[in-house]
Amino acid sequence: MNVDVETAIDIQCSRLEVAAFASDPNNATIWYKNIKTVEWMTEKPLAVGSRFAFVAHFLGRRLAYTYQVREFELGERFVMSTTEGPFPMETIYRWADAPDGGTHMTLINRGEPLGFSKLAAPVMSVAMRRANNKDLKRLKKILEAQ
C-alpha cells in the first residue's frame, strides 16, 4: 500500500516569504516537530541537486535519511525525495496566492513503505496527516507573528 498524504493551509504572508522560509532546510527543525537535526551534505545555496541529512522521530522510531532536491522554483514548487531506509518518500511543497491575499501552501508526502513498514502504511498515513497539519499550523503561527 502506498502512502499519499496531502495537507494545506492559508498563511497571511506573501508567497515568496512563505516559500523562502519553508523551503530552507535550516528552518525545518523550527516548524517540523518531528525533525530533530538537519545537516547539509552539499554546498549552499539551495538548488536542484542539493542534499541534506535529516534525523527525525516518527511513530516512536528514529529515522535518519538524506533528501535530494529534485525541483525548486521559489514561490511555486519545491520537491525533494529520499530512497533510503524503510520508507522511500517524496515531499512536495506548492505555493499559490490565497483568495484573501495571503499564501495557500500545500504539503504532500508520498511513498511506498518497504518490509515491515508496508504493514503499517494505513497507520502511517493517519499519523503523517495529523503531524503535517500540526506542522503547517506551527509554520503559520511563526510566519504570521513576524
- Read off the pLDDT of residues 122-144 as tens digits, 9 standing for 90 and up: 788 898 999 999 999 999 999 99
Q: Phi then psi for 29, rounded to 5 degrees?
A: -70, -15
Q: Show the domain range for 41.
A: 3-145
- Read off the pLDDT of residues 57-88 as tens digits, 9 standing for 90 and up: 877 778 889 999 999 999 999 999 998 766 78
Cα-to-chain-centroid distance, residue 107? 6
Query: Any idea what the CATH number is for the domain that residue 46 is in?
Result: 3.30.530.20
pTM of structure: 0.92
3-state secondary structure of 53: strand
Residue 106 C-alpha cell reads as 500545500
What does DSSP assign to residue 59? Answer: T
Whether 46 and 23 have beta carbons less than 8 Å apart is answered as yes
Q: What angle do CA 30, 34, 36 make, to 5 degrees?
A: 65
Total tally of structural domains belonging to the chain = 1
Residue whose grid cell is 513576524: 146
